[in-house]
Structures are given as structure tokens and as C-alpha cells.
Structure 1
Amino acid sequence: MRYSMENASMKVEVESLGAELKSVLGKKSNIEYMWCSNPEYYKRSAPNLFPIVGSLKDGVYHYQGKSYKMGQHGYVRDVEWKVEKKDENTLVFTHQSDDTTKEKYPFDYEMELIYHMNGNRLEITWNIKNTGKEKMYFSCGFHPCFSCPVHGEADKSGYGYDMHMNGNVICRDFDVESGLALNSKSELKLENGFAAFTKDFFDNGAYVIENNQTHEVSLRDPEGKNYLNVYFPEAPLFGLWSAEKKNAPYAAIEPWFGRCDKEDFNGSLEEREWGHALAQGACFQAAYTIEIAGED
């Protein structure tokens, strides 16, 4: 079921399946800022990723002598969440472990996803609590995809990412076929902090960016205006992505608290790079903010 809220700047819609953000409509511009989930390119708009981000080597992780199969990005994006609270500015969705989830992921947890409108900003907060008796190992992340172009152009040529940083971006190389990280790294060259889109910009898959290189990325239009800003002050990694070799009309900015396995990884769940360990009764918070410029 889809739930909505609106203020003077925006109308927001969130689907209870996966607690997935489906629409951010600018009230002044009438621009739809979220990707429309057209399955020709990508059937989702902003899935929430847990307990893994990206792909596992061979589609399997190992924990305490057992092996568990899991698809890319985990499973909470495909479960029905409960609406815990709805008021004029806030939507709160909750999900907790059960016998079905424990077949895939043998931990007890409770979590809530909070969507809060604050003027022309949408603040998204994910609280995760370990309700089990043992340490819980996980990764999580956000995968919002944004409309690009937004002014009726034929494609997104002339658009690009403003990375809000000096120098170039160091990217972890990524294998599209396996969905795994490589041991090598490459540079994404910027011009005054800007990475311009070309028709082949995303042909080699996602840009995997580690080590807190920036905590703000914007989408810029051909007139040089940043029409959408994404802030992720605590996320140590992020991804930039659009459908490979399709010149698709969207671009993702993905704050991550975890990453796919490397191609040569042979360890257990506890040893996954960029993963998190949560003690019994402890809570973990992940958050990011979407700001739609010109709608304030």
C-alpha cells in the first residue's frame, strides 16, 4: 500500500512493500524527482538494502559453519513493512525478524525507517536494533534513483554529478557480470568537482567510492544548476549508478554502510569488508537527506 504526505514544497509517497520511497514531487516546479520504476530500465525507485549491500561471492555467505544463500542487496526491500506512524510531516515504517527471515539471516532484530519532511528536505533515518543474544553482523544502505533529465531533454547528456570535492574520485573497480569488487582502483576525473554524463558514463557498472571521500553529491542540469542534493554525513561509502549500456533516464546516488564482496573474498560473515557488528541490545543508525533545490 502507498502512503503519502505533503507540505508547501513537496509531496512524498512511500510504498509499504520494502518501505520504499516512490515519489518526491516538487510542488512549485511539478517535477517528479524520483525515478518512475519503469522495468524497461529498472523496476525499483529507492530500495533499502539489508543485511548486505551489493552481491555476495557465489551468492552465499558463511556464518558459524553454515552457508546461507542470499541475492543482491538482501531481502528487506521485498518484505511488507508495517506503518507505525503517519502524520502531516512524518511516516514511520517498522519491520522485525521472524521465522522466515531467520532462514536467510539467523539474527533477531527490530528496525524502523523514518521519512520526515522539513521544508524542501526529506530526511530518511533507519534505526536497527539487535534484539538477539549474540552479536549481529550486517551491512545496510540506501539506493535512491533520481529522474535525470528533468527538463524534457532527450537524454541526460549535459547533466552530471557535482561531487563537492577537490581533486578526482578514487573508485573501487567493479565487475558488472559477477557484481563483485576488484582489487584494483581507478580515478574518476572531475572538472571543478563535476563529473559530466556521457552516453557511456555508466557502461562499466556502478562507481564504488570508499573512504569518506565526500558526504554530499548533487545532480546538476545543463544550465549548471544543482537541482537535487543528497547529504550523507555518516556514510563511509557510496555508489553512483544507472542501468548499464542503456543511457537510462535516471541516476542513482547511494549512501552505503557496507559493500559487495571482493572477487577473491573467502571469509565468513564477520570478516566482510565494511560490515558492522552490533552488540546485544545495541542500536545502529543510518541516515541521509534529499534536498530539492528551488522548491523552498
Structure 2
Amino acid sequence: MENITIKNEFLKVEISPKGAELVSIFKGKENYLWEIDRNFWDKTSPVLFPIIGGLKNDSYEFEGRKYQLPKHGFARECEFEITEKTDDSATFTLKYSEKTLEVYPFEFTLSIQYNIIENKLFIKYIVSNASSKKMYYSIGAHPAFSIDGDFENYSLEFDQSENLISHKLSDNLFSGETKEVALEGKILPSNYSLFEQDAIVLKNSTTSNLTLLKNNVPKLKVSFPDFPFLGIWTKKNAPFICIEPWLGLADSHQSSGKIEEKEGILNLEPGSIQSHEWSVEFF
């Protein structure tokens, strides 16, 4: 299926039906998303659903039965249906199937709405539960923003000066260890050494807006007031940085494996709908 393009006088956004994944975001001639280089990574902005991160033993338990799920779930590999389209907006929808029920026993519908207003892109996740039982899920974003030139010329500006406590990962699971990430005022200077042990994962940050700066000049601002967790990630020498608002977390090495006890997990009553929105402003 062909990619979908939405645009206005400020932005031109391309989205793939596979995973409802953002492929490019142009403001003028500049693409703010990175262009795939498989030597580093084969995604641009995957949607993480119905889990975020890894599961202990790559499995979870629900109602006495074990299920297998890969890291970050299955939505990013699924073909979404295009259910609505205008010049500056598009909605992509994924519904449960026999295949998804084998690994995730809930009758869900996930719609992802992309909407451009002036120089902002709004992304809304709409999750509904058609099951007769309470549904457990996580959802999150993983956009990779382009780095042009020297990585050290970039920095991240937080809402306020605070001591950042990053929760360490080992083998895709939380180890129980933490490290302090020092800000210079509100600024985190970019350095690949920050990511030697995987992502920076913030569970208790008070930030709900994160601005990417180049040479101290704002490039873009990610706003996520309804998302309590944040991941920041890149790979050594990769020309991108990911700013990831999350509603959910990976397992720890001490996790029970029961999905209803999973840290950060959300639940949705039968017949209920929940929406979650974040946005990016481009300068």
C-alpha cells in the first residue's frame, strides 16, 4: 500500500500504512525525521503497542495462560487501514484479528490520527476495548529526529532544572539500578557516551515538553503532558536522536510476568475508549 501524504503551508508529512509510521516530516526542504540507514536502525518512528520495551522471558501471563510478544509489541509490523483522509489529516486503524488474539487476548481497536495545524503535528492514539473483560495495554512513540552534522552541536532543553534519574536497562529489562544525568541548568548537552548502556529512561521527570536545540537554537519541541514516562535514545555515531513519550515501561528482572501487575500498564474496561495525544512543533 502506498504511503499517505498530508500537508499544509508549513509542513509536509508522509506516513506509511505499515505500522502507521511517520516516514518524513518536511518543513521547507528540510526533513526533520532521519532517513533510514540499516547500519544503525531500520525504523523512523514506530508506534509501540500493546507493550513498551521488553518482557521478561519475552512472555507474559494472563488468566493462567502464557503469551509471547516481541519487544515493543506487534503494531509496528502490522498494516493499518486508512479510515479517514483530508489534505492536512489522516487516520489509520488496526483491529484485532485471529493472529493478534494468539499473542494478545483482547478485542482491541487502535486508531492513530495525524493532524497538522500550522507548524505543529498532533498525534492522537485512540484505543478501544470490545472485549468482555478488562484490557491491559501500553502505548508510546519512538520518533527519530534527524541530526545534521556534529552530534555535540545538539542539546535537549527540559521544562526546568532538575536532577534526572535514569533507570538502567540490561538485556532490554530494568536492572533495578539508576544513574544521575546532570543538566546544565535546563540543558542536557548531547554526547553519544550518554547512551552506551541503552536509552535514558525517566520515570519521574516533571518535564512535559522537550526541545531539541542545534547550536542553542530551537529545532523542534515535543509536548507530552499526558505521558508519565520518557525515553531518549540513539546509537553510537547514528545521525538521529529519539524522543519517546511513553505510557508504559519494560519489565524488570524481578517482574512477576503477570500483565495486570506490569509496571506502568494501563487498563480499559469493556466497551470503553481512551485517547492519548502528543505533538511536535517545528521551528
Question: Which category describes the TM-score, using the shorter chain as reference length?
Answer: over 0.9
SS at match of 1:126: strand
Question: Across the two proteins, how many residue pairs are aligned to each other?
Answer: 282
How much does 1:201 deviate? Answer: 2.4
How much does 1:277 deviate? Answer: 1.1
- The amino acid across from 2:282 in the alignment is I
Contact 1:168 1:193 in 2 (8 A): no
Contact 1:200 1:247 in 2 (8 A): no
Contact 2:167 2:203 in 1 (8 A): yes
Alignment partners' CA distance in 2, 1:71 and 1:112: 21
Alignment partners' CA distance in 2, 1:259 and 1:81: 24
- Correspondence for 1:207: 200
- Correspondence for 2:248: 258
Alignment partners' CA distance in 2, 1:80 and 1:60: 23
Alignment partners' CA distance in 2, 1:165 and 1:143: 23
Task: For 1:48-197, list aligned pairs within 5 A.
Answer: 48-149=47-148, 153=149, 155-175=150-170, 178-197=171-190
- The amino acid across from 1:51 in the alignment is P
How much does 1:212 deviate? Answer: 4.5
TM-score, with length taken from structure 2: 0.97
Alignment partners' CA distance in 1, 2:47 and 2:23: 12
Structure 1, residues 94-143: CA drift from partner, whole Å, max 9, x if none? 11001110001010011210000000000000000001100001111111
How much does 1:39 deviate? Answer: 1.0
TM-score, with length taken from structure 1: 0.93
Q: Percent identity?
A: 30
Contact 2:93 2:110 in 1 (8 A): yes
Contact 1:48 1:76 in 2 (8 A): yes
**RMSD (Å), alpha carbons:** 1.0
Contact 2:194 2:200 in 1 (8 A): no
Alignment partners' CA distance in 1, 2:79 and 2:51: 18
How much does 1:213 deviate? Answer: 2.1
Matched, 1:227 2:219: yes
User: In structure 2, which of residues 249, 260, 278 is the aligned counterpart of residue 288 of structure 1?
Assistant: 278
Alignment partners' CA distance in 1, 2:262 and 2:23: 31
Contact 1:157 1:197 in 2 (8 A): yes
The 10-residue stretch of structure 1 (122-131 or 198-207) with the greater mean CA deviation from structure 2: 198-207
Structure 1, residues 186-206: CA drift from partner, whole Å, max 9, x if none? 211000111111232221110
SS at match of 1:133: coil
SS at match of 1:44: coil
Structure 2 gaps of 5+ residues are none
Structure 1, residues 201-242: CA drift from partner, whole Å, max 9, x if none? 2211101101242111111112x1110110001000010001
